[in-house]
Structure 1
Amino acid sequence: MENSLKKHFQRSFSLMIACCIGTASSLLFVLPVYAQKAERPNIVLVLVDDLGFSDTGPYGALDLETPNLDKLAGEGIRLKEFYNNSICAPTRASLLTGQYQHKAGMGYFNVNLGLPAYQGFLNKESLTLAEVLRSGGYSTLMSGKWHVGDDKDQWPNQRGFDQFFGFIGGASNYYELEAKEKAQVPLMLNNEPFYLEPGKYLTDEITGHALDFLTAQNQTKKPFFLYLAYNAPHWPLQALPEDIAKYKGRYKLGWDSLRTIRFKNAVEKGLIDPGQKIAVADKLLKPWNKLTYDEQQYWQLRQEVYAAMIDHVDQGIGKLLEKLKELKKDKNTLIVFISDNGSQGGNGLRLYTQRTTGPVGSAGSYEVQNSNWSQTGNSPLRSYKDSPYEGGISAPFIAWYPGKINANTIAQGTAHLIDLAPTFYQLAGITYPAQFQNTKTNALAGKSLVPLLTGQVNRVDRAEPLFWERSGKKAVRDGKWKLVSLAGADAKYELYDLEADRAENTDLAAQYPEVVERLKSAYTVWASKNDVVDYEKLRPLPAAGVQPGSRRTN
């Protein structure tokens, strides 16, 4: 009897302690909605490179064949406004850590400018998605482009990934031309060199290794996180001949007409509000009807290759969906598809195009997509990659999670890269640690999108503005207002009402000086908090033989 009462008391006391702990925890943070479920979701994050706002079928590019992205969008959710950091490395820093890029150590690029916020690689205080998810019991897999740390101690396997295939830097050929000793496609497989066989296409290799990782991971009982970071459609313009052939003649209507068609398609799909205008055309670009016949043929081919590169990524996503179904994991997997920045603009890239030794699209091509077709890719938004205008920092967002996300949903509001980490951790039932391996961590900067994904709310509302700074170019987004300032000591401030003018055609700074001052003050506070400094004091000198600014083309 005495032993029975003792056991009963112990059980009751244990239950009371557990309840107290649970109550205290609920006061500290909102319990993850999926934390109590036996089966936690698998997470696939698909990142593509230099893809414009309207460069996929779900966002208005009906000239492109993207049936698998169409499927994800039709069965999932798309956001009208999802923001990145305008260029490769800073975007990846925020994406992988949930921090603003400066707080993560990547304020400028993967170039060390001599200050902690500009060291050019991820700091230890900013935990990666892989580090946090692995600590919570996930397998962590990556295939593709890294670009957030060049030295070996900064590579994916050293920052939380169990498996890694891909390349470390910012760009790569898609075909191998040289002998192994002079590899043009500098790949790694778990810290060891990997050589691409002649004739193999890099996009296929990135997909193939991701699928191999999933097959091997299936032997475990863990959920998985897969970071699938395609470098397509980033230059050089290289694609499979059969994919290029699918688009032969499809772009003879030219960039002026196509950008208008894509704009209308986006409005019809509900991704751009009725009454919005298309961005004023780039005055530096030559109208299509002013080109000679030969010039039109030349530019058509470039867009045909670019389309083929996007098409092949979509094919890879189709293979991913097939693998998930084969492994019986398709019903419990979240897939998020985004781009690192807007489409590549600029015409001063001769440093790279001079390397071309073959026709556009071939293994010897080192051509890029210039502003003319890039303006179409970002339609109806203004400007290009590495710009604080909408065409530089706004890109597609598609999320697919069967049974959890309502099909064919389009949501309003301002979401950002920094929101993905808290979203994934909430879904995984993992509390972001205040300390990790004896290091105090940076607090997460974003907000969870789980309420939006699960239909609890129908828009993203933020209590604080969003901020950008990259090589002196600044922006602040607060509600409908957006403040923009370009680089330079004499740069003026521009103000746009994005609810009425997403194309940023009409500067309202003179009409609303009080809004300008309020957002400038908010920026100053944010910059101090995130160790942002005056870029003019940090501007890196170009290396010998390198054109100024060429580093920014990655």
Structure 2
Amino acid sequence: MMTTRLTRILFLLFVITSPAFSQKKKPKAQATTTKPNIVLIMADDLGFSDIGSYGSEIQTPNLDRLAAEGIRFRQFYNNSICAPTRASLLTGQYQHTAGMGYFNINLGTPAYQGFLSKETVSLAEVLKDAGYSTLLSGKWHVGDDSTSQWPRKRGFDHFYGNIGGASDYYVIKNLPKKQRSFFVKDDKIVDPEDEDNFYYTDEIAKNAIGFLKDQRQEQKPFFLYLAFTSPHWPLQAWPKDIKKYEGKYDIGWDSLRILRFKRQQELNILGKGQKISVKNSDLPAWNSLTYDEQKLWARKMEVYAAQVDNLDQNIGKVIDHLKESGQLENTIIFFISDNGAAGEDVGHGFSGRAVRNWGPVGTAGSYDSYTRTWAYASNTPLKSFKGFQYEGGISSPFIARFPSKIAAGGLIDGTAHLIDIAPTLYEIAGAKYPQTYKGNTIHPLAGESILPAIYGKDWVRSKPIFWERAGNKAVRKGKWKLVSVRSDQWELYDIEADRGETNNVIKDHSDIAAELKGLYNTWAKSVKVEDWNVIGKGKGFEPSFNP
């Protein structure tokens, strides 16, 4: 299940050349505690190939260092979109059981209520009862209609961040205040102290470090959920970060996919014999664009890369703090993304915002996305993107580092899902998962601990994995994956041989397809999946484009 010694050596050499290995201050004496600290980092709309250790050219030395000193999963799954992913991550339940079957919008049933169910418990609630300080800096997005659904009501001691979904990175002074992104500290809406130097990704890391400094006085282990919004649109980045990537994407999305695929093969991140997915026929070839069109689109990718770069810088700031405070070696760190790269076409008004784009892309006056064209490159070699149950929508990088327990440079083949994070963390923390909580009967955990795999032991998943959102469905059992896009037409793929989902083999394996469909139907009934054509079609949030 782990890489060969040669692969490990090559990957370590790749990472050692990165800036993260420059000399730093020696750490203070290691803080002692009976339980490990936990840092759970989530990126937002980050594609499968968007960091260096998964094939990217973007400078991510801090994440690459975590990968070199820890392990990576080749196949780790999410729920294809923001709110449902966060619901499963926080509760260890499938999204419907957690109350987030569609989004943070109430569609009228408990499985689609749009906020966390009282029959679930959050990571913060369980870990707090196990003696942990519980801290959240960044995006919430699992209940925003009422302060009763905010983080401190679900077990977090301290919170800084945005309650809803997308957020501007800058303070947009030209917008009326009621249309600006707003930020909350603990339970109060707060204004940025320095609007001219405010950049939201920086602020998430800054507040996380502040929480960690204050927490040292409590003499308890901590759980830090670091939920960045980067690189979710809008495309806004510091000029100094954009400058690093000027001209780098003039090659276009088609060539970039090939270059990333080659790097992935060199890093052995895909396994042997894999093929790159077939790009949608409705997406233009780079060479079909005019010169001016190419320059505009290249600029969008430059800004996107700058956002990922800045994300990595801020992860590095948190790691440096842990090292300098003597806490790093007793801290297990997980890194994931909430879904695949985003295909939304944003730029001329979205979700009730005023039409905006009075400044060049990347500046405070812009509100753009890089759409499906670059998203396909970000998800190399996978098919499709955010919102769909093809691999490009539900696959994420996964990195775990804990030097005393995790061997350096490993790659894991076993399939894991967000629902596995909760039982894994509870095992690490020695936390007891409750049967009842605050007078409510709590659902049993849906996932299984992946700690054996992370610690280098043989591990094979015992249960299938299921997905459903807005009529998009899938089930994964062993090497087989059955998937359907907004219809009852099913496709079957051998993911071990065909991660890019290039060859639908359902006609050759109708018996396997029938078995998986039966498993899916049983699961869908158990978690109260509703017919999307009845409960939600036309609500305006499901993608209108082809996957």
- Alignment partners' CA distance in 2, 1:422 and 1:387: 26
Answer whether contact 1:349 1:550 (CA < 8 A) is retained.
no
Q: Give 1:185's match in structure 2, choosing from 181, 187, 201.
A: 181
The answer for the alignment partner of 2:341 in structure 1 is 343
Letter in 2 for 1:231: T
- Alignment partners' CA distance in 1, 2:237 and 2:345: 21
Answer whether contact 2:470 2:536 (CA < 8 A) is retained.
yes
Q: Give 1:52's match in structure 2, choosing from 34, 47, 50.
A: 47
Identity of aligned residues (%): 52
Structure 1 residue 355 displacement after superposition: 2.1
- Structure 2, unmatched stretches of 5+, are 1-31
- Alignment partners' CA distance in 2, 1:283 and 1:195: 46
Q: 1:484-499 maps to which residues of 2 (within 5 A)? A: 484-488=483-487, 491-499=488-496
Letter in 2 for 1:90: P
The answer for the alignment partner of 1:23 in structure 2 is none
- Alignment partners' CA distance in 1, 2:400 and 2:542: 34
For 1:268, what is the secondary structure of its paired residue?
A: helix
- Alignment partners' CA distance in 1, 2:544 and 2:39: 30
For 2:483, what is the secondary structure of its paired residue?
A: strand
Answer whether contact 1:176 1:183 (CA < 8 A) is retained.
no
Structure 1 residue 439 displacement after superposition: 1.2
- Alignment partners' CA distance in 2, 1:165 and 1:392: 28
- Alignment partners' CA distance in 1, 2:266 and 2:217: 45
Largest Rg, 1 or 2: 1
The answer for the alignment partner of 2:20 in structure 1 is none
Q: Give 1:275's match in structure 2, choosing from 263, 273, 276.
A: 273
- Alignment partners' CA distance in 1, 2:477 and 2:538: 34
The answer for the alignment partner of 1:260 in structure 2 is 258
Q: 1:372-411 maps to which residues of 2 (within 5 A)? A: 372-411=373-412
- Alignment partners' CA distance in 2, 1:128 and 1:467: 21
Answer whether contact 2:341 2:378 (CA < 8 A) is retained.
yes
- Alignment partners' CA distance in 2, 1:161 and 1:434: 20
Q: Give 2:195's match in structure 1, choosing from 193, 198, 202.
A: 198
The answer for the alignment partner of 1:509 in structure 2 is 506
Structure 1 residue 347 displacement after superposition: 3.8
The answer for the alignment partner of 1:138 in structure 2 is 132
Q: Deviations over 1:62-93 (max 9, x none)?
A: x2100101100000000000000000000000
- Alignment partners' CA distance in 1, 2:126 and 2:243: 44
The answer for the alignment partner of 2:7 in structure 1 is none
Q: 1:442-481 maps to which residues of 2 (within 5 A)? A: 442-457=443-458, 460-481=459-480
Taking structure 1 as reference, are residues 499 and 538 closer, same or farther at Cα in structure 2, changes over 3 Å only?
A: same
The answer for the alignment partner of 1:96 in structure 2 is 90
Q: Deviations over 1:440-459 (max 9, x none)?
A: 111101111111111222xx
Q: Which stretch shifts more, 98-107 or 170-179?
A: 170-179
Taking structure 1 as reference, are residues 216 and 114 closer, same or farther at Cα in structure 2, changes over 3 Å only?
A: same
Letter in 2 for 1:497: D
- Alignment partners' CA distance in 2, 1:67 and 1:527: 41
Structure 1 residue 548 displacement after superposition: 6.0
User: Are 1:536 and 2:533 an aligned pair?
Assistant: yes
- Alignment partners' CA distance in 2, 1:315 and 1:376: 22
Taking structure 1 as reference, are residues 180 and 141 closer, same or farther at Cα in structure 2, changes over 3 Å only?
A: farther
CA RMSD for the aligned pairs? 1.7
For 2:159, what is the secondary structure of its paired residue?
A: strand
Letter in 1 for 2:229: N
The answer for the alignment partner of 1:167 in structure 2 is 162
The answer for the alignment partner of 1:127 in structure 2 is 121
Q: Give 2:142's match in structure 1, choosing from 112, 137, 148.
A: 148
Structure 1 residue 549 displacement after superposition: 3.6
Q: Give 2:313's match in structure 1, choosing from 312, 315, 320.
A: 315
TM-score, normalised with respect to structure 2: 0.90
Answer whether contact 1:164 1:190 (CA < 8 A) is retained.
yes
- Alignment partners' CA distance in 2, 1:477 and 1:529: 17
Letter in 2 for 1:117: A
- Alignment partners' CA distance in 2, 1:362 and 1:349: 13
For 2:195, what is the secondary structure of its paired residue?
A: coil
Q: Deviations over 1:235-279 (max 9, x none)?
A: 100000000001111111111011011111111111112211000
- Alignment partners' CA distance in 2, 1:159 and 1:515: 41
The answer for the alignment partner of 2:19 in structure 1 is none
Answer whether contact 1:113 1:540 (CA < 8 A) is retained.
no
The answer for the alignment partner of 1:299 in structure 2 is 297
Answer whether contact 2:81 2:386 (CA < 8 A) is retained.
yes
The answer for the alignment partner of 2:35 in structure 1 is 40
Counting matched residue pairs gives: 507
- Alignment partners' CA distance in 2, 1:388 and 1:210: 33
